[in-house]
């Protein structure tokens, strides 16, 4: 019998742990779920006879090492900065590891030791990163095998709400870490477009969105993500003219979010010390010039040049930014104040379902013509536990864990799923779980319009 340990029992783990439990009998596994909150771990185990729960503080490296030592494979679902010690223990004790997080420098540094010890450290095995890598490489490798010359690769992912839960003017609710949403785009955006390097300053980012649509799922918009250029290395796309990674939102989101950016409400670079006596209205007013006769609403309209019937203004108003309601914080950055407001307004209701959308656009030359293939995947949440996020993050990691233990994945060392012997079997099994890509191909003019 093999031992699998899952460290972390948070929101992204229900589908992962269910998969491991479902395969415990046929694969002859025992699954241990470890979390600092024992009750949370027990809830995931749910009395399964081949599964047990233990309490584990991941900050306690000695205990982590003990737990990892006794396992054949560890699935590390801890916060991003804590994977390092888990990976180190795994390498030392010859335990394979799978995680859904980015390869960190401390994991990268284990390459040689992991190879030497015959250990697989498979990272970026979630949705983004994860399914994005696998689906992109699957298509890119197919195109290259077909002698197509790849000219452009654009890719977009969004964590959104299912259409029937889309009931606010932003068409958005928090389905993941709110702070990352509030400060998204700060710190430099880089991509390449038509053979030109492009950089977008933060205060222009949400005006540089582009319209997108996904057949059957309607319209979206995409704004650029941080550093698209480094994906040239991952996907072996060094000669490519256009490489662009973006985040997907529903139409109107970016323009309205840009209003918050322009006002300064997403600023995370300084602390306001005197929030105790402020309402949200005072907070907004503190970013506007003084005028004894103009209302806060009028100053916002004037500063942002918003018409009376501006949908963006309606979105600001819907958030309650002009309400004389106390903020209820003593001090904080503008971004922290905004996050507090948004956590109220953009909370998922108990019966809301989330939705993950991914869209790739591959533009290539073949047979003297230019073609574009759009490849897309939409996954809906089933309930509060089996959210789209939990399924798309957890299932790739779970499937990979199985394939490593059954010997179908034989690569050792530090790897990510950009290689066919990993992405092929994982994508095949994801399809059985309803996570699959559809695609459409059309000839286009070289300027990107369809013929």
Interacting residues toward a copy of itself by CB under 8 A: 186-188, 190, 193-194, 196-204, 208, 262-264, 267, 269-270, 272, 274, 285-290, 292, 334, 447
Q: Are 252 and 238 in contact (CB under 8 A)?
A: no
Q: Considering the complex, what minimum distance in angstroms separates the CB of residue 274 from a copy of itself?
A: 6
Nearer to a copy of itself, 186 or 310 (CB): 186
Cα(359)–Cα(197) distance, rounded to whole angstroms? 22
CB 81: neighbour CB atoms within 10 A? 10
Q: Considering the complex, what minimum distance in angstroms separates the CB of residue 401 from a copy of itself?
A: 36
Nearer to a copy of itself, 1 or 238 (CB): 238
Q: Considering the complex, what minimum distance in angstroms separates the CB of residue 288 from a copy of itself?
A: 8
Longest CA–CA span in the chain (Å) reads 76
Q: Considering the complex, what minimum distance in angstroms separates the CB of residue 170 from a copy of itself?
A: 21
Q: Considering the complex, what minimum distance in angstroms separates the CB of residue 229 from a copy of itself?
A: 8
Nearer to a copy of itself, 194 or 295 (CB): 194
* Ramachandran angles phi, psi of 348, nearest 5°: -70, 135
Nearer to a copy of itself, 85 or 334 (CB): 334
Tell me the three state secondary structure of residue 450: strand
Pick from 428, 408, 438, 420: nearest CA to 141: 420
SS (H, E, C) 162-174: CHHHCCCCCCCCC
Tell me how far CA of residue 89 lies from CA of 16, 37, 60, 70, 116, in angstroms.
22, 22, 12, 11, 14
Q: Considering the complex, what minimum distance in angstroms separates the CB of residue 285 from a copy of itself?
A: 7
Q: Considering the complex, what minimum distance in angstroms separates the CB of residue 188 from a copy of itself?
A: 3
Nearer to a copy of itself, 62 or 269 (CB): 269
Nearer to a copy of itself, 40 or 288 (CB): 288
CA triple 246-390-344, angle to 5 deg: 75
Joined together, the tokens standing for residue 7 give 């460290």
Joined together, the tokens standing for residue 225 give 């993500």
Q: Are 115 and 412 in contact (CB under 8 A)?
A: yes
Q: What is the strand order of the sheet 2-7 is part of? A: 51-55, 29-35, 2-7, 73-76, 96-99, 120-122, 413-415
Cα(121)–Cα(412) distance, rounded to whole angstroms? 7
Cα(212)–Cα(379) distance, rounded to whole angstroms? 17
Q: Considering the complex, what minimum distance in angstroms separates the CB of residue 437 from a copy of itself?
A: 28
Q: Considering the complex, what minimum distance in angstroms separates the CB of residue 31 from a copy of itself?
A: 42
Nearer to a copy of itself, 288 or 436 (CB): 288
Cα(18)–Cα(48) distance, rounded to whole angstroms? 10
Residue at token pair 């933060």: 202
Nearer to a copy of itself, 143 or 278 (CB): 278
Nearer to a copy of itself, 75 or 243 (CB): 243
User: In 184-310, which ranges are continuous DSSP H helix?
Assistant: 202-205, 231-234, 253-263, 280-285, 296-304
Nearer to a copy of itself, 29 or 191 (CB): 191
Nearer to a copy of itself, 447 or 450 (CB): 447
- The whole-angstrom distance between residue 343's C-alpha and the CA centroid of its chain comes to 18
Joined together, the tokens standing for residue 184 give 């998204």
Q: Considering the complex, what minimum distance in angstroms separates the CB of residue 265 from a copy of itself?
A: 8
Q: Considering the complex, what minimum distance in angstroms separates the CB of residue 182 from a copy of itself?
A: 14
String of DSSP letters for 191-223: EEETTEEEEE-HHHHTTS-EEEEETTTEEEEEE
Q: Are 135 and 114 in contact (CB under 8 A)?
A: no
Classify residue 199 as exposed, middle or buried by CB count within 10 Å of its CB (0-12, 13-18, 19+): exposed
Nearer to a copy of itself, 27 or 294 (CB): 294
Q: Considering the complex, what minimum distance in angstroms separates the CB of residue 196 from a copy of itself?
A: 6
């Amino acid at each position: 019998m093999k031992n699998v340990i899952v460290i972390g029992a948070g929101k992204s783990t229900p589908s992962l742990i269910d998969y491991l439990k479902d395969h415990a009998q046929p694969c002859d596994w025992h699954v241990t779920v470890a979390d600092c909150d024992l009750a949370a771990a027990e809830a995931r185990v749910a009395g399964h006879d081949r599964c047990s729960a233990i309490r584990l503080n991941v900050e306690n490296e000695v205990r982590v090492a003990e737990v990892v030592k006794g396992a054949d494979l560890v699935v590390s679902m801890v916060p991003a900065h804590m994977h390092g010690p888990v990976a180190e223990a795994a390498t030392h004790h010859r335990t394979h590891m799978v995680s859904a997080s980015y390869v960190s420098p401390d994991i990268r540094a284990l390459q040689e030791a992991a190879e030497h010890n015959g250990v697989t450290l498979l990272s970026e095995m979630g949705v983004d990163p994860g399914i994005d890598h696998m689906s992109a490489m699957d298509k890119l490798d197919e195109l290259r095998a077909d002698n197509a010359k790849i000219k452009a690769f654009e890719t977009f992912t969004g964590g959104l709400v299912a259409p029937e839960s889309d009931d606010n003017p932003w068409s958005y609710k928090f389905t993941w870490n709110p702070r990352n949403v509030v400060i998204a785009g700060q710190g430099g955006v880089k991509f390449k477009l038509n053979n030109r390097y492009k950089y977008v300053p933060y205060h222009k980012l949400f005006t540089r969105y582009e319209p997108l649509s996904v057949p059957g799922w309607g319209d979206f918009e995409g704004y650029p993500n941080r550093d698209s250029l480094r994906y040239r290395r991952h996907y072996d796309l060094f000669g490519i003219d256009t490489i662009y990674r973006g985040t997907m939102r529903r139409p109107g989101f970016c323009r309205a979010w840009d209003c918050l950016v322009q006002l300064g409400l997403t600023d995370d670079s300084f602390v306001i010390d005197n929030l105790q006596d402020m309402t949200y209205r005072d907070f907004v007013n503190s970013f506007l010039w003084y005028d004894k006769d103009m209302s806060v609403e009028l100053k916002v309209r004037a500063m942002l040049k918003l018409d009376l019937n501006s949908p963006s203004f309606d979105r600001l108003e819907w958030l309650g930014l002009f309400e004389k309601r106390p903020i209820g914080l003593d001090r904080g950055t503008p971004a922290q104040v905004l996050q507090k407001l948004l956590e109220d307004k953009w909370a998922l209701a108990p019966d809301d379902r989330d939705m993950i959308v991914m869209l790739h656009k591959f533009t290539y030359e073949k047979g003297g013509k230019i073609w574009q293939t759009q490849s897309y995947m939409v996954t809906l949440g089933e309930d509060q536990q089996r959210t789209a996020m939990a399924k798309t993050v957890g299932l790739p990691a779970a499937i990979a864990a199985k394939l490593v233990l059954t010997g179908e994945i034989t690569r050792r060392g530090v790897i990510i799923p950009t290689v066919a012997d990993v992405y092929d079997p994982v994508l095949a099994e994801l399809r059985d779980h309803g996570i699959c890509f559809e695609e459409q191909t059309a000839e286009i003019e070289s300027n990107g319009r369809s013929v």
